[in-house]
Amino acid sequence: MDFSLSEEQTIFRDSVARFVAEEYPFDRRQALVAEEPGYDGAHWRRFAELGWLAATLPEDYGGLGGTPVEGMLLAEQFGRGLVMSPYLATVVLGANAILHGGSEDQKRTLLPQVAEGRLKLAFAFAEPQSRYDLNDVATTARGEKSGYRIDGHKGVVFHAASADRIVVSARTAGDSRDPDGISLFLVDAKAEGLEARHYPTQDGGRASELRFDGVRVGAEDRLGEPGTEGSALPVIERVIDHAIASVCAEATGAMWAVYEQTLTYLKTREQFGRTLGSFQALQHRMVDVYMKCELAQSMVYEVTLHLDVPDAVVRGRAAASAKYEVGRNARDVGQEGVQLHGGIGMTFDLPIGHYLKRITMINSSFGDPRHQLRRYQHLSS
Amino acid sequence: MEIAYRPESEALREEIRAFCRDEVPEEFKRAVRHEGEIEGEDSRRWLRMLYEKGGWSAPGWSRELGGPGWTYEQQYVFERELALNDAPRVPLFGAGMIGPAIIEFGSRALQEQFLPAILKGEILWCQGYSEPNSGSDLASLQTSAVRDGDHYVLNGTKMWTSDGHHADWMFGLFRTDNSGKKQHGITVLLVDMRTPGIELRPILTFDGGHETNQTFFDDVRVPVGNRLGEEHLGWTVAKYILGLERFGTAEVSRSQSSLARLKRIARDQPSSGGRLVDDEDFADAITEVELELRALELTEQRFLFGPGGPDAMGAEASMLKIRGTEVQQRITELTAEALGYYSQPFVPEQLAEGYNEEPVGPTPAGYAARSYFNMRKTSIYSGSNEIQKNIIAKAVLGL
């Protein structure tokens, strides 16, 4: 058992931390998220140059062959700095969908483009009625002579406005909640019949409602080797577990930032002639915040170190337990950060409330804590 | 990063499992399964058994000292497997606490007198720290030790002398000087419990058990040679002993066993025409504590096996105590709750071997509520959880 980082991993983490500190100070962040597309294209090119987009992708497909630990380190630092970018949508969701669901040919063609920063992706898997159930897919893909015709409504698709191509889940067979009969398709963002309504999210991110009205794709645009039609649910689950690992790490980075900023505030702000941090009632609440950060950090390791295990149940249990524990603790830490700051914690100009917003949006992505509790029970029974 | 155990730890795990299965006496396992502990003569027998396995009675000791010479990870696995396989705890006071302090601070004579006996489990110890007016504020203690020739003469009283009624020796903190700062003027003495002038009064806890005592000292004469470390500087020794508690403060594996028992009870208990485990609220409560326990387990492992290993762990250990006891308390509370009406009968005797009458309710009725009541102590003893938070606030947060 060893929970230390290797030297390379430490250097990697420090280089991300340096970027966040130097290139992404809070006022710059606020300016970026206030305008379209919600991030700096120059930053995205830097991510590519520094090898961050390639970090977790296999070497065979233009990646650097890193482990999930590199993805964790990157997301933690993004969380600390509230970095908003299409990283989650493109690399964690989109590229993993191709990596785990695509044919050899699709992987060889598309993944190097992601690694080089030339291809942005989005993953359209949720629908207005599906809530967090990944098998609840009403969007249909009907086979036609030379391909498929896609009809349906995909909801809250992260960073679809920036995407060149969108990975879409659609039903090629079965009823709307059947685990079987779901397939994944690569759809051009500018495809005819695809109508998008783009909007910002509470945390300064970007998402879209996508309506597919007779969107036509070729047979070669279905992800996977020939003969795999209708068997994409395990792929989707795997991709979402990757996303869970990523947002858990991001939330934990945000939690540590809340912890540090709140601690600094308690040590400097004076009332009744003494620092707030000298009041035992506040000290104990701050210790609770600290402990919740440590517990969340542990669960980030839990999901990260189980991401590549072959047994999907073991992986799923790790992901569910992490998303539950991180989510619950992150909510508490986010709320306490605001409360312990007092009135100033409510202001738009201070980062503290923006951490709570990001944490809250993370909680309602990929299954909220209650959903994950049920999922854990289901996978354990 | 590596979440798996090393091969030598895996090998040890198998050995401990076999030991628990084949050699640990059934009556010991029975006590543990009923959320109880062994004591007195059973503890001596248990320590003797462990010693004969190759120094397992002193899991942290090197081979030179007669211990097993285990790595930290192996020590961790040892404690863990004992807990998961219903074996009793290894009594801590001897090899875990006072033994290392004697190695660090003791004279040659004390080392020769005590170390082999501790290793062989021939001595049961108790701790003389708290006093009626010195609880959380331990350094304010006033039981006095006045030098008289080759002896110290002790007068005063100690509270919460756990296992004192079974102990042969006490290691205690005594006031030798009151003139300076309260941490100064404290001296550690090793006291033979058979010395004239020592009187023990049982303190019964509200669950009905007798684990602890009040100890009275009336002109008790202790040879100067039984002093551990410098006169007046015993606070240093006390802090050293405190810092030894690295493994098992969170009681994770014990809680995992208790949780498994709780789940079995919830599966067996009828509720609303079905089973209690099918009640969503109750099932959620169980899952919540299960996941909290997993987060705690990993946190403990992270602290122990992170950069620098266990020696690098500082005041973070306080967190393990806080969360560990909270989880323990939650599990025992849910266990009592799971039994419904049958948490009410007070029939501890039905747990005894050879109990011939028809048990009242399911077997756990004999221990569930009692264990819940008893576990309320855990957030109070060894430095209350509030004191642990003070420690974290100061040492980790810098407040």
Same domain, B279 and B299: yes
**Which residues, in sequence order, are CB contacts of A184 under 8 Å at separation 6+?**
A97, A101, A167, A168, A169, A170, A222, A223, A224, A232, A235, A236
Please check whether residue B393 touches A, CB under 8 A: yes
Q: In terms of Cα–Cα distance, which of A78, A71, A94 is closest to A29? A: A78
Q: Say yes or no: B145 and B275 in one domain.
A: no
Question: How many whole angstroms separate alpha carbon B147 and alpha carbon B68?
Answer: 40
Q: Return d(Cα A328, Cα B313) in angstroms, integer.
A: 26
Whether chain A has a CB inside 8 Å of the CB on B71: the answer is no
Q: How confident is the model at residue B353, as a pLDDT?
A: 81
B386 at interface of A, judged by CB pairs closer than 8 A? yes
Pure H helices in chain A: 7-23, 26-34, 41-49, 68-81, 87, 96-101, 104-115, 233-268, 280-305, 312-341, 351-363, 369-380
CA-closest candidate to residue B82, choices B12, B146, B140, B34: B12
Q: Is the dihedral of CA A97, A100, A101, A104 positive or negative?
A: positive
pLDDT of residue A230: 97
- Does residue B363 have a pLDDT over 90? no
Give the side-chain half-sphere CA count within 13 A for A377: 20
Instruction: Answer yes or no: do B167 and B45 share one domain.
Output: no
Looking at B91, B117, B142, the residue that finishes a domain is B91
Residue A265 contacts B, CB cutoff 8 Å: no
Residue of B287, B305, B386 lying closest to A373 (CB–CB): B287
B219/B301 same-domain check = no
Show which of B91, B117, B138 is a domain's final residue.
B91
Q: CB–CB of A1 and B296 under 8 A? A: no
Among the partner-chain residues B283, B305, B386, the one whose CB lies closest to the CB of A2 is: B305
Domain limits, chain A: 7-85+107-115, 121-231, 234-380
Which residue is closest to A3 within chain B, CA to CA?
A: B306
Closest chain B residue to A290, measured at CA: B397
CA–CA min distance A72, chain B (Å): 12
B343-353 pLDDT tens trace: 888 888 888 88
- Whole-number pLDDT of residue B248: 72
H/E run at residue B338: helix B317-338
Q: Quote the pLDDT of residue A49.
A: 97
On whether the CB atoms of residues B188 and B126 are closer than 8 A, the answer is no
- B396 contacts A301? CB cut-off 8 A: no
Q: Given a cut of 80, is residue B246 above it in pLDDT? A: no
B219: number of Cβ within 10 Å: 11
Q: Is the pLDDT reported for residue B107 higher than 90?
A: yes
Q: Which of A6, A290, A301 sits opposite B397 (nearest CB)?
A: A290
- Kindly list the residues from chain B whose CB atom is less than 8 angstroms away from the CB atom of residue A286: 393, 397, 399
Please report the pLDDT score of residue B351 as a whole number. Answer: 83
| B267 and B181 together in one domain | no
Q: Is residue B134 part of a domain?
A: yes
Closest approach of chain A CAs to the CA of B283, in angstroms?
8
What span, in angstroms and rounded, lies between the C-alpha atoms of B21 and B238? Answer: 37
ipTM of the complex: 0.86
B108 lies in some domain: no
Cβ of residue A321 closer than 8 Å to a chain B Cβ: yes
pLDDT in tens, A318-364: 999 999 999 999 999 999 999 999 989 999 999 999 999 999 999 99
Residues of chain A in contact with residue B283, where contact means CB-CB under 8 angstroms, are 377
SS3 content of chain A, % helix, strand, coil (to 5): 55, 15, 30
User: At a CB cut-off of 8 Å and minimum separation 6, what does B100 contact?
Assistant: B60, B240, B241, B244
| pLDDT tens by residue, B134-167 | 988 899 999 999 999 999 999 999 999 999 999 9
Q: Do B323 and A301 touch (CB under 8 A)?
A: no
Q: What is the pLDDT of residue A199?
A: 94
The single residue listed with the structure tokens 């991993």 is A9
CA distance B287 to chain A (A): 7
Residues 6+ apart with CB under 8 A from A8: none
Which is nearest to A187 in space by CA: A171, A210, A209?
Answer: A210
Contacts (Cβ under 8 Å, ≥6 apart) of A272: none
CB-based contact B306 A4, cutoff 8 Å: yes
Name the residue among A250, A239, A247 with its Cα closest to residue A94: A239
pLDDT at A175 (0 to 100): 94
Q: How many Cβ atoms are within 10 Å of B291's Cβ, its own excluded?
A: 24
Residues B166 and B197 in one domain: yes
What are the tens digits of pLDDT across the range B213-235? 999 999 999 999 999 999 999 99
- Integer Cα distance of A327 and A331 in angstroms: 6
**Which residues of chain B does A72 touch, with a Cβ-Cβ cutoff of 8 Å?**
none
Interface probe for A, chosen from B1, B77, B297 (most Cβ of A below 10 Å), is B1
For chains A and B, what is the number of CB pairs under 8 angstroms? 111
Q: Would B245 be classed as within a structural domain?
A: no
- The answer to whether A69 contacts B295, with C-beta atoms less than 8 Å apart, is no
B269's CB contacts (< 8 A; 6+ apart) are B275, B276, B277, B338, B339, B340, B362
Could you tell me if B231 and B292 lie in one domain?
no
Q: What is the pLDDT of residues B26-63, one digit of tens each?
A: 999 999 999 888 999 999 999 999 999 999 999 999 99
Q: Is B150 on the interface with A (CB under 8 A)?
A: no
Q: Chain B within 8 Å of A309 (Cβ-Cβ)? A: no
CATH classification for the domain delimited by A234-380, as one of 1.25.50.10, 2.60.120.560, 3.90.1300.10, 1.20.140.10: 1.20.140.10
Would you call B305 and A1 a contact, using CB atoms and an 8 Å cutoff? yes
Residue B118 lies in a domain: no
Please indicate if any CB of chain B lies within 8 Å of the CB of A276.
Answer: no
Assign domain A7-85+107-115 to its CATH architecture: Orthogonal Bundle (1.10)
B245 is catalytic: yes
Q: Domain range for residue B387?
A: 252-395
Residue B247 has pLDDT above 80, yes or no: no
Q: pLDDT per residue over B284-342, tens digit each?
A: 999 999 999 999 999 999 999 999 888 888 888 899 999 999 999 999 999 999 998 88
Examine the domain organization and report whether B197 and B172 are in the same domain. Answer: yes
Residue of B nearest to A69 (CA): B1
Whether residue B260 is found in the same domain as residue B378: yes
Above 90 in pLDDT, residue B201?
A: yes
- Running along chain A, 381 residues long, what does each successive block of 10 average in pLDDT? 95 97 97 97 97 98 96 98 98 98 98 98 96 96 95 97 98 96 98 96 95 97 96 98 98 98 96 94 97 98 97 98 98 95 92 95 95 96 87
Interface of B with A in 289-328 (CB under 8 A): 291-292, 294-296, 298-299, 301-302, 304-307, 316, 319, 322-323
Q: Which of A3, A285, A302, A340 to mutate to test the interface with B (most CBs of B within 10 A)?
A: A3
pLDDT for A134 equals: 97
CA nearest to B316, candidates B304, B308, B325, B326: B304
Q: Which residue from A1, A299, A306 is facing B295, i.e. has the nearest CB? A: A299
Catalytic residue among B15, B37, B245, B292: B245
CATH code of the domain made up of A121-231: 2.40.110.10
Instruction: Tell me the sheet residues that pair with A218.
Output: A147
Whole-angstrom Cα distance, residue B138 to residue B130? 6
- For A3, which of B1, B322, B392 is closest by C-beta distance? B1
Determine, for residues B283 and A377 on separate chains, whether the beta-carbon distance falls below 8 Å: yes
Name the minimum distance, in Å, from the CA of A93 to any CA of chain B: 24
Question: Over the stretch B375-396, which tens digit does the pLDDT of each residue have?
Answer: 999 998 888 899 999 999 999 9
